[in-house]
Structure 1
């Protein structure tokens, strides 16, 4: 028999071991297809990643497969090569013919950024971009990341930070006897201290993007010039099949921002997304309501033409294979940061724009609307008529086929046991996707899209099939708010959903961990989440609540939350808890809360409303004091919009505004909190200042509430660093085990001694 010390050590290490086991399943982050002669055999290249906890980093590697069309319209799959680790690579992109691969990497010794081109003979080009000194760091994150080939395969485009004057040596007048510089020299040095706006959370080092073109034949690098100064272009995307051959691209100076672009069909111009950035920038991450438009820049005349509506938020232009149709997503300005979007299309010859799919206010069984922030890079069928995209449909994420001529929507994945589908690429009518569920890690699958009108059923062929994880079951709960719980501004009795994950043993009353999501306009879709599966393996049930205001349930549901935060979302979460307790084998005396950002805002309200109901609480990046966020968050507009107050760039908060915000803030009711609280915050959080958690921590400690604060100096709002994410899980799992007294279980649901 082991000693008590050994048993305690084993108990403490079990959450870490459980997380380590379940986080080892790789996620496919990118896929590319290449066709061989004859068009019957295809090469599939994928890039994958998973946490390498022992080295505290993300392990990235590639896999190669061969796809062979069969006579019955199916596919035969075989692995073409062993997996290979990807080191120091920032971006990569195959050329249109698949004969070349461009790789952007960072030299670990010098920190320089290198752009290399590889073919069957080895490395054909290598350029030290840092040494050229024409721009700053290259952008590698969305929505900026880009590495795009021209159709002639002689040009590469990417986005980088605009070059700034380098720091000067100490001022010469600080040296005894030195002469003071001329006024113009002094002014030039003063530029070093000028404040440069950035794009907020996750983009804090991105301020002034420029579009750069590398001529592989002439071995020259150009920073392009042109676009109106009030626009902010950035991410460039050049569709390989759509770009005609041509000469040197025209010049475009991208003064401060973000671009999504592609060449026009005749190569005479560039289609791009431009973001307005005056009078100042607001955070872009997870905010699809910023003013932007689809523009066409004629490279010969320099004329810039707006193709989309002037006052809207447009993004993701995608040109059809025949170059005749341009689709893009469009949403309303202001209001909720994420909302239901329109699918629009422009006839390239006539420039006439039409709405293919409009905003859905109340979902039907067949279609709940479009909610993604971007279309897949490759989404057109070979017929230049049909489009495939992935979007939330209530608590699922499905792949939808849209006929752009008839506006008919076909759900290609409805009813599948997997709850989340992601389209990776779609070329030559070959679909490459991943699918997962709360108990099933992501599997890589392929399919051939059938002819128009005969799309269903579609036959998915597994490429890499992950096994289901034992110890986890799940279901979707439908929740209908009663009329008595409607706020004055609610839209009817809009239903919502919650996902319940639990251990398989129905004879045990499991403790329940309640998770309202952040956002608040986001959604818990039924995907694989290692941390949630690990909690089930430890013996907990988990309730993921998609309260009214979540994506995937129609625009009316999203708008119902405006002016009702801290009320409707809190009541919905508690209603979902009550329904789960009444219908499932759950222990009503062992409840905990686990949430982040706006979800933590909801959790804190629940702790104040029912101080004895919950026995433990763990929060990440919590929102606790709304008025204090006005001067610290990258999205100050949300503080007004969420409470039904109008926002403008020049608005100065008045006393009434501050009172309204404070009355809706959990900090105003913190005196009622009795539940032990664990707080986890990233020191570099630009969305919700870490001072929110510090203020709460000090107040709870002063009142004698058991409180612990974890501070991650290198992480931002999401706390997604490999080390931070693992550490956060281990700490909140132990926090729940400590305060709920739950016996630990193994993967079969049996108690561990």
Structure 2
């Protein structure tokens, strides 16, 4: 296979733009009502080796007397680059645009109106704090009601903390003191503080009163703009990794500008995503359990800000009924309320799909808003809500053969269906066939503690094979393990299918979208139940589709997906022809002291965790027993390892351990080392390199 052909295919599929956020504004005219939809897109550019961001606008015209009917969609405006912007936010009344921009090592705060740049502050030169947080975990940019103040989260100024302990002598003494951070992708986040900019005076101040054992984030103004609501993560006795972990002890707080801080929620739970209703009466947020699975089914709570009473709007779903809502598993978009504050809209996993849902606060009834087609005839397997404002929803739809598509529709009245309009079709679609498989474990593999569970997979293959022979099958296994492969656009899957491979994306028991029992069933069963589930899914696919070649099978995956890939080639050495693993867990016992989520190492093997845990011989033995390294001597399939030198979640020494074990036995193995990359191997050039090497590795050994 020609490397230039592989690179060309990957450039084509990875370079397709993806909408990442949207905003809606409306204007009432005498005879009609207009809506302006502004979407921000991300697009990978292999030439630059970076991701570009740009915005685009559409004008929608609706009848005044029938506001839920879009009469006309005008052609979109030009694409406007917004690269360099790390945060942005529109004010609710005058439409002022606040931007935090990176320029020559400085962070600038810019305020734009319809006449141009109105104000610019050099936040770095002001030296009131460290870098502004722009991540999804802590970051925020919130306008006050009067639109003369802005709220954001930044790193506490190191100089301030040193000066308070004695000036120059303290500086010499403390400059090498270790500062804990929040782990993978948050390595520069240690001590967040809430900051307020007064746009009239140009002053920046750090809000005082946050409890000293709490790290604040996701802040927003409370009604009246005299107080702030935020999520606080407890960081004592030490910090654990937050990325992909919805099980960290945290609480909802209200901080008054005079420094008085009060807790609005229980303190031994996990909280995230506070969202204020349009009328300012109610705050909703997601709530989960502490420790246990690091991702889980969450409940949706609502807090009446007048009575201070909290109630459950959506509870955890343990066992979803067939075809029904399966629970909440992901963050809420920033704008998720209906205009009348009676409904909340969100996206969530449902078995092998990602669907769009609406919950009514009066009845607690959940309604699916996706196209009313049966699962077998769905055009889009994934519906992701970007925003809902003025009751107009903006969603990103996709499927394994249809790249991200921007669509809009008004929230429906009771009993009505949504009339969806497409704003932006993808540049191209692909001639792939895809289907969803429901898989039932054989009786001997049923989990006696969580009996009767099933799982699923998504099979994608070229509609017309490149040759007459049977199609080679690549089994693609997601990480997590508590995550999901929905039937959505995936450029790795698309690239493989474009090059003639079939791809089976497996959602083994423990994946999200199948209920909390399904997630809990994997605790203590890693390296066994999940490995057998993948093998059962492969056998099911081969049985149901005779065009797949049972003699040309390979496994690929990252993190826990890499863990399972290495397990499969070790436990079924005659079955698979090749393996490609990204940052795999190889030896859970040796990983214990180097991972940022040490609690999961205990939980995954069925042991309780506490901060003062000291490893025991029994615990280490349990971790080793469930690790792929115990099967290394049986591995016959050639193994490609791809490791990030800055991985905080799974140390690259894990992959090196397997590399040495295979080298010592003269087993075919190749290792790619990316010194500047982390756990997700997410740099554009790294992803292209990994795809090229994976395809050539599979082709060589098929």
Q: Does TM-score exceed 0.5, indicating one fold?
A: yes
Conserved in 2, the CA contact under 8 Å of 1:104 and 1:115? yes
Are 1:131 and 2:125 counterparts?
Answer: yes
Number of the residue aligned with 1:23 = 14
Are 1:518 and 2:479 counterparts?
Answer: yes
What are the within-5 Å matches in structure 2 for residues 309-458 of structure 1?
Answer: 309-413=266-370, 415=373, 416-451=378-413, 453-454=414-415, 456-458=416-418
What are the within-5 Å matches in structure 2 for residues 462-611 of structure 1?
Answer: 462-466=422-426, 469-489=429-449, 491-505=450-464, 508-584=469-545, 585-611=547-573
Are 1:224 and 2:185 counterparts?
Answer: no
After the TM superposition, which of the residue ranges 458-467 and 379-388 deviates more from structure 2? 458-467
Are 1:41 and 2:34 counterparts?
Answer: yes
Number of the residue aligned with 2:92 = 96
Residue of 42, 58, 62 corresponding to 2:55: 62
Whole-angstrom CA distance in 2 between matches of 1:662 and 1:68 = 62
CA gap 1:30/1:543 in 2 versus in 1, 3 angstroms: same
Number of the residue aligned with 2:595 = 633
Number of the residue aligned with 1:239 = none
Number of equivalences = 687
After the TM superposition, which of the residue ranges 29-38 and 517-526 deviates more from structure 2? 29-38
Whole-angstrom CA distance in 1 between matches of 2:442 and 2:82 = 53
How far did 1:336 drift?
Answer: 0.2
Whole-angstrom CA distance in 1 between matches of 2:198 and 2:341 = 31
Whole-angstrom CA distance in 1 between matches of 2:354 and 2:243 = 20
CA gap 1:423/1:552 in 2 versus in 1, 3 angstroms: same
What are the within-5 Å matches in structure 2 for residues 707-718 of structure 1?
Answer: 707-718=669-680
How far did 1:297 drift?
Answer: 2.6
Whole-angstrom CA distance in 2 between matches of 1:195 and 1:535 = 44
Conserved in 1, the CA contact under 8 Å of 2:139 and 2:218? no
What are the within-5 Å matches in structure 2 for residues 157-306 of structure 1?
Answer: 157-165=151-159, 185-233=168-216, 259-300=217-258, 302-306=259-263
After the TM superposition, which of the residue ranges 435-444 and 355-364 deviates more from structure 2? 355-364
CA deviation string 1:157-190 (max 9, x = no partner): 221111113999xxxxxxxxxxxxx997444311
Whole-angstrom CA distance in 2 between matches of 1:367 and 1:674 = 43
Conserved in 2, the CA contact under 8 Å of 1:435 and 1:442? yes
Q: Secondary structure of 1:130's partner?
A: helix
How far did 1:394 drift?
Answer: 0.7
Whole-angstrom CA distance in 2 between matches of 1:551 and 1:186 = 52
CA gap 1:167/1:712 in 2 versus in 1, 3 angstroms: farther
How far did 1:608 drift?
Answer: 1.1
Q: Secondary structure of 1:260's partner?
A: strand
How far did 1:141 drift?
Answer: 1.2
Whole-angstrom CA distance in 2 between matches of 1:27 and 1:721 = 16
How far did 1:371 drift?
Answer: 3.3
Conserved in 2, the CA contact under 8 Å of 1:165 and 1:192? no
Number of the residue aligned with 1:13 = 4
Unaligned runs of 5+ in 2: none
Conserved in 2, the CA contact under 8 Å of 1:341 and 1:369? no
TM-score by length of 1: 0.89
How far did 1:487 drift?
Answer: 4.3
Q: Secondary structure of 1:556's partner?
A: helix
Whole-angstrom CA distance in 2 between matches of 1:183 and 1:339 = 45
Whole-angstrom CA distance in 2 between matches of 1:47 and 1:184 = 45
TM-score by length of 2: 0.95
How far did 1:84 drift?
Answer: 1.6
Q: Secondary structure of 1:436's partner?
A: strand
How far did 1:265 drift?
Answer: 2.2
Conserved in 1, the CA contact under 8 Å of 2:402 and 2:430? no
Conserved in 1, the CA contact under 8 Å of 2:151 and 2:220? no
Whole-angstrom CA distance in 2 between matches of 1:466 and 1:628 = 45
After the TM superposition, which of the residue ranges 198-207 and 66-75 deviates more from structure 2? 66-75
Unaligned runs of 5+ in 1: 1-7, 169-181, 234-258, 741-753
Residue of 728, 732, 741 corresponding to 2:690: 728
Whole-angstrom CA distance in 2 between matches of 1:159 and 1:587 = 53
Conserved in 2, the CA contact under 8 Å of 1:643 and 1:661? yes
Conserved in 2, the CA contact under 8 Å of 1:482 and 1:493? no
How far did 1:102 drift?
Answer: 1.1
How far did 1:86 drift?
Answer: 1.9
Conserved in 1, the CA contact under 8 Å of 2:151 and 2:219? no
Residue of 610, 622, 643 corresponding to 1:660: 622
Whole-angstrom CA distance in 1 between matches of 2:402 and 2:204 = 46
CA gap 1:617/1:155 in 2 versus in 1, 3 angstroms: same
CA deviation string 1:245-290 (max 9, x = no partner): xxxxxxxxxxxxxx12222223342222111111000000000001
Q: Secondary structure of 1:498's partner?
A: strand
Whole-angstrom CA distance in 2 between matches of 1:226 and 1:67 = 45
Conserved in 1, the CA contact under 8 Å of 2:145 and 2:224? no
Greater C-alpha Rg: 1
How far did 1:298 drift?
Answer: 3.4
Whole-angstrom CA distance in 1 between matches of 2:346 and 2:357 = 5
Conserved in 2, the CA contact under 8 Å of 1:471 and 1:536? no
Q: Secondary structure of 1:79's partner?
A: coil
